[in-house]
């Protein structure tokens, strides 16, 4: 039994052109009418019955119809459409076909994006390495600072212990050891004499001003009770300071 292959009905090119022409004419009539109607409505409602909305809307309708006819008669002009010959060699022909400008730009953009991504990854790795190095350096410096502070503290403790401990040397047994900063006996006596003398002089001047007298003052002397009282207080303070200086 012989196999029957399905036969395809061939359509002549004249019929295809006539069908496309009829479609374009009907599309132009419909879209032009819609544009004209929309222009009339806009002119009446919004533009006070002016003519330019009608012409503008009609032009939009005719332009849309012309675009559809252009796509129907010349599909190659539509962006993104490419005619590939039919047959077993279509795959190889399409693979060996020259790239369009858009494909070249797309390929270059992909390569640039990949290179930028690699550079960004390398930059991130370098930044991480630098941050790790800086952290290690900061830790080392902190440890060194802590060790230096401990060493300085130990030195200060040793100095304080040496100051408060008995001085080393050939001091005789039973002799008093004078700590640094303490005064000698002559210094204390000198301070006591100076402060006591100043206090005695102040008290003598206060006596002349009548601070300790109840009777009349000698001729030529003026009574100054405020200054006399001040000198009395100052003299007593100086004598007390001299006594304290002697005991220190």
User: Which residues contact residue 229 at a Cβ distance below 8 angstroms, ignoring those fewer than 6 apart?
Assistant: 206, 211
Side-chain half-sphere CA neighbours of 191 within 13 A = 15
- 61 with 116, same domain: the answer is no
**pLDDT interval class at 80 (50, 70, 90):** low
Q: Using a cut of 0.75, tell me whether the model's pTM lies above it.
A: no
The residue range of the domain holding 216 is: 185-247
Distance CA 248, CA 246 (A): 6
Side-chain half-sphere CA neighbours of 72 within 13 A = 18
| Domain-embedded: residue 5 | no
- 21 with 72, same domain: the answer is yes
**pLDDT interval class at 31 (50, 70, 90):** confident
Lowest mean pLDDT among 8-22, 54-68, 91-105, 168-182: 168-182
Map tokens 């004499």 to a residue: 193
| Domain-embedded: residue 233 | yes
The DSSP letter of residue 180 is T
Q: Is the dihedral of CA 59, 65, 68, 72 positive or negative?
A: negative
For residue 41, pLDDT over 50 is answered with: yes
For residue 220, pLDDT over 80 is answered with: no
Distance CA 85, CA 170 (A): 120
- pLDDT tens-digit profile of 195-212? 888 888 888 888 777 776
pLDDT at 3: 47
**pLDDT interval class at 1 (50, 70, 90):** very low
| Domain-embedded: residue 8 | no
More confident residue, 171 or 58: 58
For residue 239, pLDDT over 80 is answered with: yes
Average pLDDT, integer, range 31-39: 88
**pLDDT interval class at 84 (50, 70, 90):** low
Q: Round the average pLDDT of the chain to a whole number and report it.
A: 75
| Domain-embedded: residue 47 | yes
Distance CA 197, CA 215 (A): 27
In the chain, the number of structural domains is 3
| Domain-embedded: residue 9 | no
| Domain-embedded: residue 69 | yes
Average pLDDT, integer, range 154-179: 61
pLDDT at 54: 87
For residue 134, pLDDT over 60 is answered with: yes
pLDDT at 214: 61
Average pLDDT, integer, range 131-135: 84
| Domain-embedded: residue 104 | no
Question: What tokens appear for 222 in the block?
Answer: 């003026």
For residue 143, pLDDT over 70 is answered with: yes
């Amino acid at each position: 039994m012989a196999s029957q292959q399905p036969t395809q009905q061939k359509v002549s090119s004249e019929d295809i052109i006539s069908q496309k022409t009829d479609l374009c004419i009907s599309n132009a009539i419909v879209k032009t009418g819609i544009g004209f109607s929309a222009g009339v409505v806009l002119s009446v409602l919004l533009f006070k019955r002016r003519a330019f909305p009608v012409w503008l809307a009609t032009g939009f309708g005719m332009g849309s119809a012309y675009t559809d006819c252009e796509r129907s008669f010349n599909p190659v002009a539509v962006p993104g459409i490419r005619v590939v010959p039919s047959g077993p060699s279509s795959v190889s022909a399409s693979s060996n076909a020259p790239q369009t400008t858009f494909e070249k730009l797309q390929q270059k953009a992909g390569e640039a994006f990949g290179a930028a991504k690699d550079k960004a990854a390398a930059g991130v790795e370098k930044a991480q390495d630098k941050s790790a190095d800086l952290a290690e350096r900061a830790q080392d410096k902190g440890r060194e600072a802590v060790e230096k502070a401990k060493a300085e503290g130990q030195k200060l403790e040793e100095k304080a212990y040496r100051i408060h401990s008995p001085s080393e040397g050939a001091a005789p047994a039973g002799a008093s050891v004078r700590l640094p900063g303490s005064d000698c006996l002559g210094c204390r006596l000198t301070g006591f004499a100076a402060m006591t003398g100043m206090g005695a002089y102040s008290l003598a001047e206060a006596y002349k001003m009548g601070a300790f007298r109840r009777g009349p003052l000698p001729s030529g002397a003026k009574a100054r009770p405020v200054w006399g009282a001040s000198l009395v207080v100052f003299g007593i303070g100086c004598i007390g300071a001299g006594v304290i200086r002697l005991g220190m």
